[in-house]
Structure 1
Amino acid sequence: MLAFFSSLGAPSFVAAADKTVVFVAGRDSHGFGSHEHGGGCRYLAATLEKGLPGIKTRVHAGGWPKDPSIFDGAAAVVLYMDGGGGHPVNRHLEELDKLMKKGIGLACIHYAVEVPKGKSGNYFLDWIGGYFEAHWSVNPHWIAEFKKLPKHPITSGVKPFKLNDEWYFHMRFRDKLEGVTPILSAVAPESTMRRRNGAHSGNAAVRASVAKGDLQHVAWARERPDGGRGFGFTGGHVHWNWGDENFRKLVLNAIAWVAKADVPSGGVPSANPSKDELVAAIKGKKVSKKAGKLTPPKPGVKPVFKSPVVTSLTPGCSIKVDVDIRGAKELYLVASDGGNGHSCDWADWGEPRLVGPKGEKKLTELKWTSASSGFNNVRVNKNCGGDSLRIGDKDIPYGLGTHANSVIAYKIPPGYERFKALAGLDNGGTEQGACGNASSVQFMVYTGNPGSAVLTSIGGGGGGGGGGAADSREPGDALAGLDVHADLDATLFASEPTIVSPTNLDIDHRGRVWICEVVNYRRNNGRRPEGDRIVILEDSDGDGVSDKSKVFYQGRDIDSAMGIVVLGNKVIVSCAPNVFVFHDDDGDDKADRKELLFTKTGAPQHDHSTHSIVFGPDGKFYWNVGNTGRHVHDAKGTIITDIDGNEVRDNGKPYFGGMVFRCNADGSEFEVLGHNFRNNYEATVDSLGAVWQSDNDDDGNRGVRINYVMEFGNYG
């Protein structure tokens, strides 16, 4: 049993028994994996019950409960929902206040901490001690590093950690933090302020606070005079963060604490969840424990079978599947929407079976390890609606019925070498008058865990797109769309808000990454009044992740820069219509002066213009312009004449369109190596001196040529 110090309130010897915690989840409002209020509440409730036997939970999802009796006997209430002006609590303030006056605890997670200033805000100051106030607080995504934790039951067993989330900060607290204990605090980096002022994005007060390096409190505890307790937590945007042991333990501890249950000295125990368990919580399902755990996902896993998109016009509305699975231990059946949304995408795996020396084994005789469906449930020998399986108007004797987007995973018993099935559209979808003709599904089979590349597509369809990791903007999904060679390893080095909209990069002799960071491009021109930036990112501790950032130069003169090369203390930036040379004379990573190398080269705000200079093995500069480059002038504005006596000008005398150049570092001995390209991006030089580039030929035809640049070549 724990005896808390008086600074934490009256001593508590109340065990977890007979404690009821009510979770109220708002509607899921963001893409898959974000603001998963229902899934988050279900996961936390189940984990809390398992970790503290005796605590009972009730979960209401989809908004505020119509029947107030759900709160009867509650020791604590947890709110996990969208907030602001639409916060459900705004219409139930008096109702909730009556519960608070009984000493019931309240925990608010993520967006649930935001309410309007005034009546709602005042209640929150009383109940939990603080809230997100528009035009005062901000909501950037950033990696918060919690280096020190206070001694408090909520931090029991929690170790210092850092994690990327949408950590709101600069919260509105009670005056002088009266009755409030900060739990998680971190210094917000300057990058969190790289946004315009707005209700949630920035204001003078928060900018001053960040500039001073103030600690920003993103989780806090409140002890009320009525004996009740409150907890505010601004993380929780990213559902997958519940997989972080310290993040999860702290919130579980806090919920137990506001319910006045004893928090174990090591914190509320819980096992690290698999991705499948977190997905199952979103879908409101349980993951089979008897089927065994799946291997962790690996980047770059390829399907062993990938069908074309099957539509109602496909013969038989189906496609045969017959794939080699020798040596495989797992099988993943994926049905994704065909790119036009998932309406009416009822999908069946007809007669799925394993074939090998042991004969045939119906997949329907095995228990899946996990299964998820974009609508209704995955069913055995029935379609997702619970009716008989029918593909192309033909009855299917056995199979699996689901709905895109769907993943069904199995452990493969030994003795089987092939997987066979008829994958098709179920009549339950194709016969619907409203959208049956639009039914479209792509079927894939994996023998390794595809991870987020597939899982993030579940529920990601919607009316107009295919969803999926390719549509996700979460840093955790950044690698999902990459094809990574088996001998290579791809990891995430940096993401927003540390860096936004990079257009080009170079790596210096210290391994630091220099980036052209562009915001002021075309319709966003002027969005960053201070101008675009050259940013230096550094991995100071060698863990493969950027942890330091500094600005080398910022100004409107480099708006929409498209190229950068770092050569000692010189940094050459290509920004149409100019190519600048910046000098760092004193080595402090700040530009001390700049000079022009080339001028009147390309159209401003156009990416078909001047691209990056590359330093070749012969000491020459290699670079190119696209078909809006037009001509090249020297620093004084005089048209360049190449070594063959031709003006470097797109006028057919003799050069057309995009061009590839070679010259000395001072711009002399200028050569045009090839011409008549459309939008050739950044040349490269191999060890033999051959020049290569990519040319974005035609957006309409989605064509890209990889060019060997033959000297004097006309590539029209």
Structure 2
Amino acid sequence: MKGLTLIIPILLAFVSPLFLSAKKEEVTKKKIVLIAGSRSHASGEHEFRAGCMLLAKSLNDESGLNVEAVVVGKDWPKDKSVLDDADSIFIFADSVSGIAGEWEYLDSLAKKGVGMVFMHYAVHPNPQMGKKYFQPWIGGAMESDWSVNPHWVADMKVKQDHEIGNGVPEMVTCLDEFYYNMRFINERDKVLDLVTATPTRENMYRYINLWNQHGVDGLDKEHALMWGYERPNGGRGVGFTGGHYHHVWALDGFRTVVLNALIWSAGIEVPKGGVKSKPLTEDDLNDNLDSYGKNMKRLELPNPSDWKKLGPARIDEKREAAFTK
């Protein structure tokens, strides 16, 4: 009995630190909520839910990081309390459908230091909301009659001296609908250009509805496609204009830079080799796609070398001449 009395304190001395360590790890796990928009466009485009699920799988099952990624949708969560303890919120949806009028609530979270990442169409509010909310949250936003939305083959230059560039090649080639010429805060030097590319007449694939004179003037100039912002009062924001085509997730560099951005926005140090994730198979790329019935198509893994063979888009000279009138 006396021996047992001596052993118990010794066991407790070993077990207690382990228990406390486990509890501490549980408490410090970072939570990222991914808000996926509703179905839109066509099969293989604006696959918000499938894209969010790919990212969540990478974070939860493959990254090895102490993070919990939760996917909600379609659009704004029915129970917004899921966001109350979020360290970062990712919105991938059509325009502001992923916000659903909850501007003040999101603003209160931003003021508490919650990270925010907006991707593709989700970076496009109206000018008033862009200035009032997006600029303080993430440093800038897309703006109609100022920004443009062509489809083009971008040689994306990833900022190598920033955490978000960890494990990502310096250049990633991608065909996507990359918006450019964002409306940034006046203190432009406070916004980090994390991924940049240069649109040209030669790498344009399609000029579509929002093409304007600013787009023409912006040709042959480098533009930020992904930008980051560290808010003066705490918290980080990221905007990224890519993500129209679902095939982008099969590009390891593209996927990694988005995963890195999510982690960075949540205040986690990005691993030196970037956030780990497994290369996608064709089956992975076709998982969880929105249903379009007979109009569903099976997506193939992209081959960037094929994009370089695409001819430049036809220029509508009559349309462009009208821009200056």
Q: Same fold judged by TM-score > 0.5?
A: yes
In the alignment, the residues of structure 1 paired with residue 205 and residue 251 of structure 2 have an alpha-carbon distance, to the nearest angstrom, of 26
Query: Residues of 2 paired with 1:169 and 1:16: CA distance?
Result: 40
* Structure 1 equivalent of residue 215 of structure 2: 206
1:273 aligns with 2:313: no
Alignment match of 1:89 (pick from 99, 104, 120)? 99
DSSP 3-state at the match of 1:58: strand
Match of 2:309 in 1: 494
- CA drift of 1:275 comes to 1.5
Question: Where does 1:60-79 land on structure 2 (aligned, <5 Å)?
Answer: 60-79=72-91
Larger Rg belongs to:
1
Instruction: Call closer, same or farther: CA 1:253–1:35 in 2, change over 3 Å.
Output: same
Distance 1:66 1:100 in 2: 20
Q: Distance in 1 between matches of 2:28 and 2:113?
A: 17
Q: How does 1:690-705 map to 2 (within 5 A)?
A: none
Change (3 A) 1:467 1:219: same
- The alignment partner of 2:289 has SS state of helix
Give the counterpart of 1:126 among 116, 136, 158: 136
2:252 is matched with which residue? 245
Structure with bigger helix share is 2
1:99 to 1:161, Cα distance in 2 relative to 1, 3 A: same
Counterpart of 1:358 in structure 2 is none
Q: CA deviation at 1:75?
A: 0.4
In structure 2, the CA distance between the partners of 1:254 and 1:16, relative to structure 1 (3 Å rule), is: farther
Query: What secondary structure, in the 3-state scheme, does the structure 1 residue paired with 2:167 have?
Result: coil
SS at match of 2:78: coil
Per the alignment, do residues 101 and 528 of structure 1 end up closer, same or farther by CA in structure 2, a change over 3 Å counting?
A: closer
Deviation at 1:243, TM superposition (A): 0.8
Which one-letter code corresponds to 2:77 in the other structure? P
In the superposition, the TM-score normalised over structure 1's length comes to 0.38
Written as runs of structure 1 = structure 2, the 5 A alignment for 1:418-567 is 459=292, 461=294, 466=295, 468=297, 494-495=309-310, 498-500=312-314
Instruction: Tell me the residue number matched to 2:18.
Output: none
How many pairs align?
294
State the 1:155 CA deviation.
0.8
Does the Cα contact within 8 Å between 2:123 and 2:241 map onto a contact in 1?
yes
CA distance, structure 2, for counterparts of residue 52 and residue 278 of structure 1: 22
3-state secondary structure, aligned to 2:229 = strand
Deviation at 1:74, TM superposition (A): 0.7
The residue aligned with 1:393 is: none
Unaligned 5+ runs, structure 2: 1-24
Distance 2:232 2:138 in 1: 12
In structure 2, relative to structure 1, the CA distance for the partners of 1:155 and 1:528 (3 Å cut) is closer
Equivalent of residue 127 in structure 2, options 117, 120, 128: 117
Partner of 2:32: helix, strand, or coil? strand
**Residue of structure 2 in register with 1:163 after alignment:** 174
Higher relative contact order (CA 8 A, sep 6+): 2
Q: Of Structure 1 and Structure 2, which has the larger fraction of its residues in strand?
A: 1
CA distance, structure 2, for counterparts of residue 145 and residue 157 of structure 1: 17
Q: Which runs of 4+ in 1 moved over 6 A?
A: none
Distance 2:198 2:64 in 1: 33
Q: What SS class does the counterpart of residue 233 from structure 2 fall into? A: coil
Please tell me the root mean square deviation across aligned C-alpha atoms, in Å.
3.0
Name 1:217's counterpart in structure 2.
224
Alpha carbons of 1:21 and 1:147: their partners in 2 closer, same or farther (altered >3 Å)? closer
Equivalents in 2 of 1:238, 1:57: separation in Å? Answer: 22
Q: Percentage identity across aligned positions?
A: 34
CA contact (8 A) 2:158 2:194 kept: no
Say if 1:193 and 1:202, in contact at 8 Å, map to a contact too: no
* Structure 2 match to 1:486: none
Partners of 1:528 and 1:127 lie apart in 2 by 34
- Trace 1:674-713 onto structure 2 (pairs within 5 A): none
Aligned to 2:271: 264
- 1:16 touches 1:53 (CA, 8 Å); kept in 2? no
Tell me by how many angstroms 1:116 deviates: 0.3
| 1:336-366 alpha-carbon deviations (Å, 9 max, x no partner) | xxxxxxxxxxxxxxxxxxxxxxxxxxxxxxx
